[in-house]
Structure 1
């Protein structure tokens, strides 16, 4: 039976395996530790005997963000991603979050379709980014 719960550090290797299987870059431990000091309750794992999906969210007091959603390729199309997003939305709503944003790569048509089916609307914003030196 699928359960969704808050990430625990003992899940890290399993989460890395899901990210790797899904073709996503791994969030290094130090970066994740910094993220978890802010809102650890918004980093969720889905498990069914093992970790099969993960979503990372954050809330800055004004907007919620869905930063990473990944489901193991062998477990896709079983409602896991939708369940993770629904739980994250509930947790953000409990924090008083009025709006959730996310980014989808322009060539990810399947991802864009998934998010639109969940009610997320594309916006004509332009993403700007600047890496900072450590």
Structure 2
């Protein structure tokens, strides 16, 4: 049985392990603490048998929702965990009256693109610009 619930600080080490196992960059505690002051209800973990199997971080700026850091431990993949995490995050976005949700997928991540398209997300020809601060 999978339980999707809000992240708590006691989950941090397990979430770091999920990110590491999935090859994702770890969000440092200080950066995560700043994010959690804004919309903590949009940072979710998937727990199975007291083990954090997956995680997704969302954020909402009042205009757009963003899905960030979706990751599932390799040994828990292909069980619908990612879809359940996204589904619960989308439900929470709707409760906030969020009109649109965005996310970023690397263009060479064909499996990722197929996953998101199966959930109804459409690729957009936007150009990503970024500037470290």
In structure 2, how many angstroms separate the alpha carbons of the residues matched to 1:75 and 1:96? 32
Which residue pairs with 1:92 in the alignment? 93
1:67 shift after superposition: 1.0
Give runs of ≥4 in structure 1 deviating > 2 Å.
none
User: TM-score, structure 1 length as denominator?
Assistant: 0.98
Which residue of structure 2 aligns with residue 38 of structure 1? Answer: 38
Question: Any gaps of 5 or more consecutive residues in structure 2?
Answer: none
C-alpha distance in structure 2 between counterparts of 1:96 and 1:46, whole Å:
24
Q: Distance in 1 between matches of 2:33 and 2:130?
A: 22
Cα deviation 1:82-123 (Å, max 9, x = unaligned): 000000000000000000000001111100100000000000
- Tell me the secondary structure at the aligned position of residue 30 of structure 2: helix
Match of 1:107 in 2: 108
Structure 1 vs Structure 2 CA RMSD = 0.4
CA displacement at 1:68 relative to structure 2: 1.1
Give me the whole-angstrom Cα distance separating, in 2, the residues matched to 1:67 and 1:80.
16
Paired residues in the alignment total 132
Does residue 73 of structure 2 align to residue 72 of structure 1? yes
- Superposition TM-score, scaled by structure 2 size: 0.99
Supply the distance in 1 between the matched residues of 2:93 and 2:69 (Cα, whole angstroms). 15
Residue 58 of structure 1 is matched in structure 2 by 59
